[in-house]
Amino acid sequence: MSIFEIPGAIVGVAHAAIESLADLFSPLAGTAAAALAIVVFTVLIRLLISPLTYQQIRAQRRQAALAPEIAKLREKHGKDQMVLATKTLELQRANGISPFAAFLPALAQAPFFMVMYHVALRAPEGALMGVPLTAHLAAGLPVFAVLLVLAGALAWWSSRRMSVSMQPVMPAAPGTPSLGFLRYLPYLSVLAVAWMPLAGGIYLVTSTAWTALEQAFLRRPVTTGNR
């Protein structure tokens, strides 16, 4: 197998796994078995990468704890950005903070999103409330309306939580552009649900809901000893 055939093989494995789950759920869920299989498959994959999310949040908490020391470094070396960056990186490393920890969950999910996108394009046979999993917005408006409401509510929740969490975790240096635009990124999932086939919309809403629950659980208040 060449390296160019690997993505297709992974998509094939994911497709086969969803079809196997659909066969398993068919006696219970009927024509909705494939939709249920997508939900379960998405949750299983998200469980596999949950440790990366935990490491991300742990690093963010450590970063927040270092905010006073980083502020002192900015005050001392603010005129020399190279020295400031070096000293900040040294401080982070000394406290066990990886500069890449914040990006690991997103990097891990990106290949899975592409796999699920291709799976959605040739979704297994099945329907949700009478709408085929291959249908788009115009052909399945009632079901898509529910998904869009759920996606919008999750985007609002995620945006609100992001606005609160960014300030203590990501203190901005003087002259640094505002990161407020990040609060609007969750709403891209709403547009994606409206654009993708129903199978893709089910995946996105499931994955986004998992992220919301995961963030609510992992970011709950903890004692200093558990950071």
Provide the number of structural domains found in the chain: 1
pLDDT at 171: 46
227, 57 contact by CB (below 8 A): no
Structure tokens at 58: 């742990």
pLDDT at 101: 62
For 97-136, the pLDDT digits (tens) are: 766 666 666 777 778 788 888 888 777 888 999 999 999 9
CA–chain centroid gap for 92, Å, is 25
Distance, in Å, from the CA atom of 211 to the CA atom of 158, rounded to the nearest integer, reads: 9
For range 26-49, the mean pLDDT: 93
pLDDT at 175: 43
For range 129-151, the mean pLDDT: 93
The pTM for the full model equals 0.77
Q: By residue range, what is the domain housing residue 69?
A: 3-226
212, 157 contact by CB (below 8 A): yes
Q: Does the structure show a pLDDT above 50 at 65?
A: yes
Q: Give 29 or 107, the one with higher predicted confidence.
A: 29
pLDDT at 180: 61
For range 11-26, the mean pLDDT: 91
pLDDT at 66: 76
pLDDT at 170: 44
pLDDT at 36: 96
Of the listed ranges 26-30, 73-77, 223-227, the one predicted with least confidence: 223-227
CA Rg value for the chain? 21
